[in-house]
Amino acid sequence: MSGSDVINTTPFLSDKLSLVTHHHLLTRVPVKLDLEDWNYRSWEYFFDQLCSGYDVIKFIRGTPTDATPTSTSVPFTPDELKVHKIILSWIFTTISDPLQKRLVVAGPNTAKEAWDILTNIVKDNKRTRASTLKTELQSIQLGTLSMEAYFQKIESLVTTLTSLDYVVNDEDVVHYAITGLPEKYNQVCGYMHYQTTFPDLKMVRSLLVAVEMRLKTKEVSLPLDSSSPIMATVF
């Protein structure tokens, strides 16, 4: 078999990628990049895994020679151009509507251009987003939330801040959580402060969920008397 025969019978990479269905794409990248959710790390991880699986990571990350000032750019082959267009469509499919609009305005011609634009958008918004979330965490209040929902919200804020490369001190988080509770939890909060080892967030969550349940039980079983020593029987 001649060399030309081998070339002619070898499927193009773009043909392989074109077989990726919409369902398969969203299964491999199960999150949509959204600045409101700030899920860039998750989206980046899944998209990297997708591209690595099809051996096209270089189309979004570039190659070592791309960063070399003396290197001359080599024009894309027709198949490479098709690959860029396919990956570009993957990117558009897995990002939020607002980001899609910004990307359309930017008008990237290649998958790497689109990737770099999104990366820069994320970087530009990182500091402002971190500052806003830090303020929200520091001023968090239980309000009408259940104790379980309250701690889920706290953990979500901490997770997002961590994804923004903001270092969150565990003891500070516990302090914010306790400070945001109403007066009826003062006794149990005081109890935690006097422990030899300051409790972590998981322990505080478990204790306060249990206390919440006991308080609700007593509120149902006792007469509505504001002078009732509800907290006296917590421990």
- For 198-224, write each residue's pLDDT tens digit: 788 888 898 899 888 888 887 766 554
Q: At residue 230, does pLDDT exceed 80?
A: no
Q: Do 2 and 118 reside in the same domain of the chain? A: yes
Q: Do 193 and 88 reside in the same domain of the chain? A: no
Q: At residue 98, does pLDDT exceed 90?
A: yes
pLDDT of res. 9: 40
Number of domains within the chain:
2
Q: Do 6 and 95 reside in the same domain of the chain? A: yes
Question: What's the whole-model pTM score?
Answer: 0.63
Percentage of residues in the chain with pLDDT exceeding 90?
51
Q: At residue 179, does pLDDT exceed 50?
A: yes
pLDDT of res. 68: 44
pLDDT of res. 11: 65
Domain that holds residue 99: 1-125
Q: Do 118 and 148 reside in the same domain of the chain? A: no
Neighbours of 66 (CB within 10 A): 11
In a domain, 43, yes or no: yes
The mean predicted confidence, pLDDT, of the chain is: 83
In a domain, 130, yes or no: no
CB-based contacts of 234, cutoff 8 Å, min separation 6: 187, 188, 211, 214, 215
95: three-class secondary structure by DSSP: strand
pLDDT of res. 94: 97
Q: Do 5 and 113 reside in the same domain of the chain? A: yes
pLDDT of res. 67: 47
**Domain finish residue from 125, 157, 185:** 125
Q: At residue 118, does pLDDT exceed 60?
A: yes
188: pLDDT confidence band, cut at 50, 70 and 90?
Answer: confident
